Structure 1
Amino acid sequence: MARADTLARARTLDRPELAYLVRFPTADGTRDMDLTWAELARDTDWVTARLREHGLGAGQRALLTTSGFEGFWCHAVIGALRALKVTYGIAEAMGWDHRRTSVFHRELAPHAVIGLSAQTLEGLAGTADIGEMFRSTSVVLARPAAVPPLRAVGVSAGVFSAVGPALALECPERNGAHVNAAEWRVGERDGQLTVAAGDGRASLLTETPLGVAGHVTTARCGCGSEDPRVLLAEAN
């Protein structure tokens, strides 16, 4: 049977609602939460809109650095890149794979690099000038620990971070990383972030301390978004 026929047959099969079992750290240990295909589709739509605000569009190229266990966060990013018709390459976010990040960056000349980690930067530092490498990249979204060293060498890096089971993405305003208000409720208690599931999520998650230092602002962002923004202590 041809591959096209196999895929067509596969589309007719029943698919369970569950897409992923999300495991994430909290202040009191790890928690598990179901992620359905419908929720993943909504998450993908939200990420698509956020990346469009950064100017990503058809014909551009992107580099995503991620690890396999982050599938439930990064699947939405991959879906967004596909929706925007952005060609992308993927490198492991662990430091041992920094050479692949370097090769993809050189060969793709990407418009955007998403998910840069401090470990990747540490690996690259021995072989490249980080500032020279990324200053010419139009969009750099990095994990919190990687943001200060990038900004220190003149790279206008925004924040890309998990906030418990949610994903936070900083807009071009650089005033904190947005979290989808339609899906999650983020807050703070004693200088630590908390997260709870919105009414539309399949799994119940009451207000949960994450053990992550940060601040939440609900003021309207300069980009026009009403989504809350988290300002992570590690990224400043």
Structure 2
Amino acid sequence: MARADTLARARELDRPDLAYLVRFPAADGMRETDLSWAQIARDTAWITDRLRGHGLTAGERAVLTASGFEGFWCHAMIGALRSLRVTYGIAEAMGWDHRRTSVFHRELRPQAMIGLSAETLEGLSGTADIAQMFRQTRLLLARPAAVPVLRGAGVPAFLISAVGPALALECPERSGAHVNAAEWRVGERDGQLSVAAGEGRGSALPETPLGIAGRVITARCACGSEDPRVLFAQADQLSSARS
């Protein structure tokens, strides 16, 4: 049977609705929630709009640094890059793979670096000048502990962070990281962030304290988005959210 015929037959098979079982750190230990293929499709559409808002367009290039256990947002991010027709390379977010990030950056000359971690920057700092390396990269979406390192080097990084099972992405206004309001409810109590499944999520997740210091802004953003924005209190308090 030809490959095309095999793929056509495969598309006719029943596909389980469950895509991932997401495990994430909460204030009282690890928690779990389901993630369906339909939810991934909606997450992909939301991320696509977020990246488009940063000016990422067809024909440009990106480097994504992520780990296998981050598939709950990485899968949607890859889908968004494909939807925008952006060429991308993938490196591990752990520090031991910083050389792959360096090679992709040198060979692809990307317009976007997505998911940069403090561990990657620490590895790169031994062989490169961070400020010089990323000065020409138009869009840098970095994790909470990496943002102050980059900004301290004069590189205007934006924030990307897991907030429990949700993903937060900072817009060009740099006034907090947006969370998709159609899918998630983010809140705060006594200076600590919480997350719950929104009405459109379709999977049950009650309000879950995350043990992350921060606050939530619900006012309309200057970028035009009605999605709430998360402001993190201190980067070192977000080490559990970087996974």
The reply to whether TM is greater than 0.5 is yes
Aligned residue for 1:60?
60
Gaps of 5+ in 2: 237-243
Q: Is the Cα–Cα contact under 8 Å of residues 178 and 229 in structure 1 kept in the other structure?
A: yes
| 1:198-209 alignment runs, 5 A limit | 198-209=198-209
Aligned match of 1:123: 123
- Please give the per-residue CA displacement for 1:129-176, whole angstroms capped at 9, x wherever unaligned: 001111210000000000000000111101010000100000011111
CA distance in 1, matches of 2:20, 2:209: 22
Partner residue, 2:177: 177
The alpha carbon displacement at 1:105 in A equals: 0.3
Tell me if 1:136 matches 2:136: yes
Q: Report the equivalent of 2:241.
A: none
Aligned to 1:144, the other structure's residue is in SS state coil
> Which letter does structure 2 place at the counterpart of 1:167?
L
**Alignment correspondent of 1:96:** 96
Under a length normalisation based on structure 1, what TM-score does the superposition of the two structures give? 0.98
- Report the Cα offset of residue 233 of structure 1: 2.1
Q: Is structure 2 residue 31 aligned with structure 1 residue 31?
A: yes
In structure 2, distance between residues paired with 1:157 and 1:56? 15
Given residue 13 of structure 2, which amino acid in structure 1 is its aligned partner? L
> Structure 1: which 5+ residue stretches go unaligned?
none
Give the distance between the partners of 2:2 and 2:140, measured in 1 at CA. 40
2:80 corresponds in structure 1 to 80
Query: What's the offset of the Cα at 1:202?
Result: 2.6
Under a length normalisation based on structure 2, what TM-score does the superposition of the two structures give?
A: 0.95
SS in 1 for 2:154: coil
**Quick one: distance in 1 between partners of 2:67 and 2:234?**
20
- Partner in structure 1 of residue 151 of structure 2: 151
Residue number in structure 2 paired with 1:231: 231
Question: Would the aligned equivalents of 2:21 and 2:34 in 1 still touch at CA under 8 Å?
Answer: yes
**Alpha-carbon separation, structure 1, partners of 2:14 and 2:93:** 34
1:200 positional shift: 2.0
Q: Is the 8 A contact 1:34 1:202 kept in 2?
A: no
User: Who is 2:51 aligned against?
Assistant: 51
Structure 2 partner of 1:105: 105
Structure 1 runs of 4+ off > 4 angstroms? none
Q: Is the 8 A contact 1:163 1:195 kept in 2?
A: yes
After the TM superposition, which of the residue ranges 157-166 and 196-205 deviates more from structure 2? 196-205
* Per-residue CA distance 1:155-202 (angstroms, 9 max, x = gap): 110101000010000001111100000110001111110001011223
> How many angstroms does 1:232 deviate by?
1.2
- CA positional deviation for 1:3: 2.2
Alpha-carbon separation, structure 1, partners of 2:50 and 2:235: 19
Q: State the alpha-carbon separation in 2 of the partners of residues 182 and 200 from structure 1.
A: 6
The CA distance in 2 between the partners of 1:51 and 1:196, in whole Å, is: 24
* Alpha-carbon shift at residue 57 of structure 1 (Å): 1.0
Q: Alignment partner of 1:145: what SS? A: coil
- 2:213 is aligned with what amino acid? A
Matched residue type, 1:6 = T
Q: Distance in 2 between matches of 1:30 and 1:213?
A: 17
CA distance in 2, matches of 1:55, 1:89: 19
- Which residue number corresponds to residue 194 of structure 1? 194
For 1:89, what is the secondary structure of its paired residue? strand
Q: 1:192·1:214 contact (CA, 8 Å) conserved in 2?
A: yes
